[in-house]
Structure 1
């Protein structure tokens, strides 16, 4: 009889998971991810399942109260998990709505007519970037379709060569005597200079040194300023190169960059609630609004988010235009990747502790306070819980400490529907961007410095220097990031030792753990997979310049007086690869490239079926090439995923290592 009840209990548990999985297969055929009613229903169920799961965890899986290690770690892990679930539920509420402003832009194009087009100053903030990075941003900004733009380079590196380059182009160049206030201080200095002009701009656009605006960036963003209360328009950041996770795992074509979910889905949802925020680059700001806010705030190293709060307090809204209008350079190395995210975390904690914090008396709305609290919870809970999930199983293997005391049927019944449903809903609204393991690796990589930054920022919010994210440089060698890898390598070794001890030794917990051993075994094996992938990401592979949007095209070359039509398969700022004609290194020829013109070229490498050419261009041709590569056409980011593509690319990466 007891055995029959156990079988029935297991069947019931599996039935709940199968129901969730079945709905996940059917509902995409019936629902629209852009419909807010449909989204609200799906996320309401997600919140209900989250509450059901965490109630079960708190009521049935904890060690008995007492002065024991089981009690301490069991309750400690629950508190971390509950905080992470609470953060997720806040995100679910935000994601339950979404908004697109493209039709509004179409309706209000050139709203200022018949008056003259408003004057726009495009500010390019730079510190230590190379000319190869800066020149494409400057050329792209100068190519704007808006008829009344001025490009202004703000050089905090005080470099004479950059001043001379701007002078040859007729581009306005500004420098200041110090670097006080970092990027925000640099922009504020420029605002002071512009205010003294005979005709100050009516709008400013802010670009990082590595972000190239497309021709339509300014006119599309300006359309939303038809509403006089709009102080800032933020647009998404797209990237023409893979981030370190994409690149080092070989997923550049099948898995999106780490920021895609935020820019393509979370920001439009925040906009629907009226809490979209400035992300620095790729934004346009009303001059009147930034003056009313007192310029760019310098109280936080993430001045962009704080600017949104300052504008809101001054009576101006931030809105989000989810159109791919700029593309830039993602962090190319893991150190830069982690540094950037740690800086974001630290800056957010500074905001939370500052004058415009959620618990401070100020002019912010309730929803603005929620916005800050939601962001604080994300940085505080997501990464600390990820570290706990990786380390707490070791307590079982080495010290026989039970963190989660549950049976397999109960885990399947409560955790199964919860995780299946959440993965379904998040992937339904985002075209498959939330991929287990890869997503976990992205969180784990920066978890240690991010948790450190979160705690430091809350305890000591002031006195932290601004860390610049390095861009460009030599990326042609394999580099093992030993310092970043070491904690994960140690954790991998400890996990393997603990697992072997638990399985092989009669003295340790595995043999008398009952049903819990299956749970802890699965948990440990999953962690080992995550750690293995994380270690692989820490081996940085060589990079060569390649534009995501490259498509093979037919071109004409002139070789020894004869015209030949061949395929061009790669095009960069200095070179092109062609196929369809055997070439020998050192051979001189001419090539005609669409939109650029006819230019001399030299074969620098023969490839059997073609060759790699070094291009010799006139300055105007080079500008045209930069515009073609970075300022025209569609942005190249991966915006949806296919599981088959991810598995295939991952397998190729594994075989080639």
Structure 2
């Protein structure tokens, strides 16, 4: 199973290289009829403040004819405050009661009231960028033109485009980045699928739908009977059903929206349990191994998606096998050292070499093993139960708020037990051995050490890290002016957040913390933003002082523009590629030192009293 999933990924990478497949998004043109678009923001019980950011961003989306863009809030709880929000932003509100089919039921109900030929789906927390439609609608225009040209020339028909998926992007550090002090080193864990694997799927015109920030053909969704209601992952199943119905699907690599990802252990694990159960159930619904409607490539993609969730069981087996031999002399593999060196070692290292050679710059295999080890204790059992037909009782929207309690700390127990047993196995297996004995046992020691390192990372992730910042900080360089006694002075912002910003002045002036300042920001292609605020601190930089301001907005109009300035674009403070100069061993050292320093500070405070 492990080799099969690796070979499938290698196969699609080499196929894309051979065919030189690279999706080029053409420019949006008004030469063709501009399609009307319904942009549906799906909400259940999320905070209205979070929903407001997404609705506000949707009203700023670029489209040549804004009359053909209809922003819709689909609320399945009929909340008065959400209806009021829709009136405030002059967008359509579609409420409902008695929803029995979770997100799918909400979307299907909204579609009954809409008729545009294209519609987009956004989750409450997934904030769209202004370029979302200019990065997706042209692909539908191009597909329509190709189909018309093929029909006019009596050539084989070109398949109709069913949907375009843009990457799942997040503006806050995920649990791996944040808890491992890796915000500047590794990309978001989900980037590997969204910006790499799914783009490969799209090169075969069978990209998977990932639940949000995708643009659909209404005809394609109607052809399959709407969003499926017999699974927890309606997105995965819907995309596959659209492909089976004869439509194609594409995935772009440039983020056109950004959301918030949970960083508390309980929230992350519950989210992945739902995904695991949903995909296993959807694969059963789709009969991926025997369905005659699936093409060879599409079947491979779905099988690979299915086997991915079984990788957590194989990770448990990988961890237990050397422990069984080291502690109890249970021989899982019946082979001596030299047979392993001749048969196993070449294949193992060659496979890893090929995976490294064909891998993307987003994530290497070692980080993949750490993330797989982290989820393994909590995902292998739900996958087995769902496979046996024992289903989860109810669906629950993932809470994106950071919550930490004593119960959350208990999630560390499986990692600690595995870590402790692995450490004991390493010591007992190698104690008293010398020379050739150590060499012959090196394979077992090698695996024990690899798992020990992975489990050490899992312990650090489960230990967590204090969250001090209430809102995320974005790198945003925007010109503006600061009012001083003798007039407006030019400035440039360095970063922004909902609560404040920092800036530098072209001509530094004498400013002191505690002063109230008046600023005017002039973002490109946008109206000016007026704001005031208290100067909190002045920091010395290499060239010019950096001024940090606590922001206050005078009215809702300026507040809306300021929110759009913050969230309109990927958070450049987070990496999109892995820093290959930093190894997992470097990261392990960093985490050990950071936590030792924390414990030292706590101890010094205790001894002081």
Shorter-chain TM-score tier: 0.7 to 0.9
- Assess if the C-alpha contact under 8 Å between 1:137 and 1:212 holds in 2: yes
Please give the residue correspondences for 1:579-594 in structure 2 after superposition, counting only pairs within 5 Å. Answer: 586-594=514-522
State the distance in 2 between where 1:377 and 1:332 align.
26
Match of 2:369 among 425, 440, 449: 440
Alpha-carbon distance change, 629 to 650 in structure 1, aligned in 2, over 3 angstroms: farther
Alpha-carbon distance change, 636 to 409 in structure 1, aligned in 2, over 3 angstroms: farther
Alpha-carbon distance change, 510 to 293 in structure 1, aligned in 2, over 3 angstroms: farther
Please give the residue correspondences for 1:182-201 in structure 2 after superposition, counting only pairs within 5 Å. Answer: 182-194=102-114, 200-201=115-116
Say which SS state the counterpart of residue 327 (structure 2) adopts. helix
Task: Structure 1 unaligned segments of length 5 or more: list them.
Answer: 1-82, 195-199
C-alpha displacement of 1:587: 2.9
Which gives a bigger RCO, structure 1 or 2 (Cα 8 Å, sep 6+)? 1
> What residue in structure 2 maps to residue 121 of structure 1?
38
Match of 1:291 among 222, 247, 254: 222
Alpha-carbon distance change, 119 to 548 in structure 1, aligned in 2, over 3 angstroms: same
> What residue in structure 1 maps to residue 463 of structure 2?
539
> What residue in structure 1 maps to residue 559 of structure 2?
622
> What residue in structure 2 maps to residue 144 of structure 1?
61
Alpha-carbon distance change, 637 to 613 in structure 1, aligned in 2, over 3 angstroms: closer
- Assess if the C-alpha contact under 8 Å between 1:479 and 1:541 holds in 2: no
Say which SS state the counterpart of residue 96 (structure 1) adopts. helix
Q: TM-score, normalised on structure 1?
A: 0.77
Cα root mean square deviation, aligned: 3.1
State the distance in 2 between where 1:86 and 1:205 align.
35
Please give the residue correspondences for 1:122-271 in structure 2 after superposition, counting only pairs within 5 Å. Answer: 122-146=39-63, 147=65, 148-194=68-114, 200-226=115-141, 227-228=143-144, 229-271=160-202
Alpha-carbon distance change, 321 to 549 in structure 1, aligned in 2, over 3 angstroms: same
Alpha-carbon distance change, 480 to 586 in structure 1, aligned in 2, over 3 angstroms: farther
State the distance in 1 between where 2:583 and 2:510 align.
35
Deviation readout 1:526-557 (Å, 9 max, x if unpaired):
22111111100112223325657515667543
- Assess if the C-alpha contact under 8 Å between 1:100 and 1:268 holds in 2: no
- Bigger Cα displacement from structure 2, 363-372 vs 592-601: 363-372
> What residue in structure 1 maps to residue 532 of structure 2?
600
C-alpha displacement of 1:612: 4.1
State the distance in 2 between where 1:406 and 1:557 align.
75
State the distance in 1 between where 2:465 and 2:492 align.
28
State the distance in 1 between where 2:21 and 2:405 align.
42
C-alpha displacement of 1:566: 6.1
Alpha-carbon distance change, 613 to 559 in structure 1, aligned in 2, over 3 angstroms: farther
C-alpha displacement of 1:283: 0.8
- Assess if the C-alpha contact under 8 Å between 2:172 and 2:472 holds in 1: yes
Q: Aligned residues, how many?
A: 559
Alpha-carbon distance change, 434 to 480 in structure 1, aligned in 2, over 3 angstroms: farther
Q: TM-score, normalised on structure 2?
A: 0.83
State the distance in 1 between where 2:132 and 2:479 align.
29
C-alpha displacement of 1:461: 6.0
Alpha-carbon distance change, 633 to 469 in structure 1, aligned in 2, over 3 angstroms: closer
- Assess if the C-alpha contact under 8 Å between 1:254 and 1:646 holds in 2: no
State the distance in 2 between where 1:649 and 1:562 align.
49
State the distance in 2 between where 1:565 and 1:272 align.
47
> What residue in structure 2 maps to residue 550 of structure 1?
475
Alpha-carbon distance change, 614 to 631 in structure 1, aligned in 2, over 3 angstroms: closer
- Alignment of 1:656 onto 2:594: yes
Alpha-carbon distance change, 329 to 582 in structure 1, aligned in 2, over 3 angstroms: farther
- Assess if the C-alpha contact under 8 Å between 1:101 and 1:321 holds in 2: no
C-alpha displacement of 1:443: 0.7
Please give the residue correspondences for 1:335-354 in structure 2 after superposition, counting only pairs within 5 Å. Answer: 335-354=266-285
> What residue in structure 1 maps to residue 426 of structure 2?
499
- Assess if the C-alpha contact under 8 Å between 2:38 and 2:116 holds in 1: yes
Deviation readout 1:334-370 (Å, 9 max, x if unpaired):
222222222221111112222x222455643344333
Alpha-carbon distance change, 416 to 310 in structure 1, aligned in 2, over 3 angstroms: same
State the distance in 1 between where 2:423 and 2:510 align.
53
Task: Structure 2 unaligned segments of length 5 or more: list them.
Answer: 145-159, 596-609
Alpha-carbon distance change, 187 to 363 in structure 1, aligned in 2, over 3 angstroms: same
- Assess if the C-alpha contact under 8 Å between 1:430 and 1:640 holds in 2: no
State the distance in 2 between where 1:515 and 1:650 align.
26
